[in-house]
A and B are shown apart, each in its own frame.
Chain A
């Protein structure tokens, strides 16, 4: 039924437009209701499925993401925080999608590249670097943030190459384990490199990390808006994330349909045949590692600037698996899939699980009795918000058993399966 409406351009436009408007109004009326906000997110998903002219769809998408979302964010700052998180994970998932989805190399230490990016800006964008080089030259001026986006891309790409070179001879599951070990090594290093020379400040982490400069401050003043950093920064970071995600999507789409993307997929499907057809296997695999890693590096810089504080806890194995779960859920090798997967998993973690936690707490505090059991006696350790791993685990197992191609399978793969 909905499918049929969505296939009809006029009705689809009307339906999606109406839904967006209604849910937007709903969120602005009930800014604290998570359910209403999720409905708003669902209507964005419907927008993706709706069949309508390309320009109209683009316009609606841009309008929703660049206008409606910031407005909602200024009503309830938490939604903007969620949107930023989603954006960060979308970019990470798209990066991992290149390595796992396109090239078929299972990377279980992806978060290591994220960490390298984050620490590169954290060290130089905070007084931390003074401890390494002496003097009081650091933190670097805020403007360097943008330069470090590029520096991190280069640094993580090189890290990716360094990891890729020795492990290229491995295949499949051995490769997965080595990347896992690599991820752990980076985390342990971050945890312990506070001596003999203090690089990372160990488990205590680095703070305060400079945020990007508000270079448009004169414009705001000219418009008569007070550039209060507390108001400006969330919106500013949101738009930065949006730009980075946009660039990531663009690069992903260009790469996917280039000869490089096809070479990756050839390697994924049959390595021997790919080599026989003249695909330069070593160069292509290295390129996949470097490409995937560089996205994580750029997002890492943004992450550390957004958090102002980072420590090794943000870069555990669980994060790697979380990003993997996003890619798997959406569909390996599929760009819309990676976006959807990242959104769904982040929403599950930040909204559904947290919402459940709050709800349980309310029940507990109210001391309601159900079937003779007083909810005030619920164990205090029972916090749904802490069960991210269960979510990731269930996603991975269920998807592998019931729908290994993901929710939104890659078009090319779908075609292959259809013909085969």
Chain B
């Protein structure tokens, strides 16, 4: 076995894994926040993410059509796109909660989950329908922005592109912002109170419904941001792209301890790194028998193993069983 090669690619793989991990962390936040408040898996979150990606590509294509894409600073453009994507995804998440989840509150656990799966499938085809009518194509490509594709060489074998840096910086900023919001503000305290005990929170004068909507708004916005960043990083989006990243992000949330915000961030990073290493090392270590195509199986196996042996995750505390 070529140890020099194995060690040589290590830093590059680490870097790729970090980029992927931050993306998972952003999506995982949406799952974990909703689970923390409602103890419910928001299966449609992967489509909230996709809608963010599509809003991003639409805005960029529009800017390109009017010729502003090259005229404006790429970072300004990216900021605008990111904010619009977050807004759209956040509002969509709130709407979905209002229409498809709120009427089902208080029913057996499986009922809202099935409804969420339905929403997820519906949104996939809704995006496809919209794009088919609007552009007569639903596999869209993010327009290239030259500045973002510049690569810095760190050493001879390792380099990093500007867009990867953007992903890392933007994710760090958002994670820090969320952390501050939840832990240092009154609103954050109210959200935590609702997660702890809805009835008691409402006795303390907190509007439970408003806090739940807010949770969906924030989680959705994070998902939307992840969607835009995903599009910038990997270029190609279609209405069905969300499923696998969504499932992985859920894995990340469970890995970190579902309901736990720092846990989701940690879980995202760990999963991203594991996956990047699996993708590059599996085929090297097994002599080509198992290639990168097994990285999905690898992630799912992790999910299944954690759920079976440590369902509370790395940072999670024991969640009491609810009937």
A interface with B by C-beta (< 8 Å) = 104, 106, 108, 166-167, 169-174, 176-178, 180-182, 184-185, 188-189, 191-192, 195-196, 270, 272, 317-318, 321, 324-325, 328, 379-383, 386-390, 392-398, 400-401, 404
A174 touches B311 (CB 8 A): yes
- Determine if B243 and A167 form an interchain contact, defined as CB atoms under 8 angstroms apart: no
| Chain A residues positioned under 8 Å from B132 (CB to CB) | 379, 381-383
Task: Identify the interface centre among A383, A390, A395: most chain B CB within 10 Å of its CB.
Answer: A390
Closest CB-CB distance, B105 to chain A, in whole Å? Answer: 12
The reply to whether B120 and A400 contact each other, CB–CB distance below 8 Å, is no
Cβ of B117: which chain A residues have Cβ within 8 Å of it?
108, 321, 324, 393, 396
Q: Flag whether B62 is at the interface (Cβ < 8 A).
A: no
**Interface: B112 (CB within 8 A):** yes
Chain A nearest CB from B242 CB (Å) reads 12
Expressed in whole angstroms, the Cα–Cα distance for A106 and B126 within the complex equals 25
Q: Does B157 contact A (CB under 8 A)?
A: no
Nearest A-chain residue to B296, judged by Cβ: A188
Inter-chain contact B297/A390, CB cutoff 8 Å: no
Q: Report B288-323 residues with CB < 8 Å from chain A CB.
A: 289, 291, 293-294, 296-297, 300-301, 303-304, 307-308, 311, 321, 323
Cross-chain contact A380 with B136 (CB below 8 angstroms)? yes
User: Which residues on A sit within 8 Å (CB–CB) of B119?
Assistant: 393, 397
Instruction: Output the residue of B110, B131, B289, B303 with the most chain A CB within 10 A.
Output: B110
Q: Which residues of A contact B300 (CB under 8 A)?
A: 181-182, 184-185
Measured CB to CB, the closest approach of chain A to B299, in angstroms, equals: 9
Q: Is the CB of A181 within 8 A of B114?
A: no
Q: Which 6 A-B pairs have the closest CB atoms?
A: A396-B118, A393-B122, A393-B121, A390-B125, A397-B118, A379-B136
| Known interface pairs A181-B303, A392-B118; A176-B308 also in contact (CB < 8 Å) | no
Is B100 a contact of A389 with CB atoms below 8 Å? no
State which of A167, A387, A395 has its C-beta within 8 Å of the C-beta of B308.
A167
What would be 13 A-B contacts, judged by CB atoms less than 8 Å apart? A104-B110, A106-B114, A170-B307, A173-B113, A181-B304, A182-B304, A184-B297, A318-B121, A390-B129, A392-B121, A393-B125, A400-B100, A401-B100
Give A178 to B305 CA distance when docked, in angstroms.
9
B107 contacts partner chain A, Cβ-Cβ < 8 Å: yes
> What's the minimum C-beta distance from B42 to chain A, rounded to whole angstroms?
11
Is there contact, CB below 8 Å, between B293 and A188? yes
- Nearest B-chain residue to A397, judged by Cβ: B118
Q: How far does the alpha carbon of A172 sit from the alpha carbon of B243 in the complex, in Å?
A: 20
Known: A185-B300, A396-B117. 15 other contacts (CB 8 A): A170-B311, A171-B321, A172-B110, A191-B293, A328-B114, A389-B122, A389-B124, A390-B122, A392-B118, A393-B120, A393-B124, A396-B115, A397-B119, A400-B112, A400-B118
| Chain A min CB distance to B109 (Å) | 5
A172→B311 CA distance, assembly (Å): 13
Min CB gap A141→B, angstroms: 34
Q: How far is the CA of A270 from the CA of B124 in the complex (A)?
A: 35
Residues on A with beta carbons closer than 8 Å to the beta carbon of B113: 106, 172-173, 176
Residues of chain B with a CB closer than 8 A to A170's CB: 307-308, 311
Distance in angstroms between the alpha carbons of A50 and B50 in the assembled complex: 48
Verify A394–B118 contact, CB threshold 8 A: yes
Tell me how far the C-beta of A31 lies from the nearest C-beta in chain B, rounded to whole angstroms: 31
In contact, A189 and B297 (Cβ under 8 angstroms): yes
Taking a contact as CB atoms under 8 Å apart, the answer to whether B114 and A396 are in contact is yes
Within 8 Å of chain A (Cβ to Cβ): is B103?
A: yes
Question: How many angstroms from the CA of A170 to the CA of B243 in the assembled complex?
Answer: 23
- Asked if residues A404 and B296 are in contact (CB atoms below 8 Å), the reply is no
Are A381 and B138 in contact (CB-based, < 8 A)? yes
Q: Nearest-CB distance from A10 to chain B (Å)?
A: 42
**Distance (whole angstroms) from the CB of B137 to the closest CB of chain A:** 6
Is B133 in contact with chain A by the CB < 8 A criterion? yes
Q: Which partner residue on chain B sits nearest A100 by CB separation?
A: B110
| A169 and B308 contact, CB distance less than 8 A | yes
Cβ-defined contact, A177 with B114, below 8 A: no
What residues on A are CB-neighbors of B250 within 8 Å? 177
Q: Which of B112, B117, B250 has the most CB of A within 10 A?
A: B117
Bound-complex Cα distance A398 to B291 (A): 42
A178 touches B125 (CB 8 A): no
CA distance A196 to B254 in the complex (A): 33
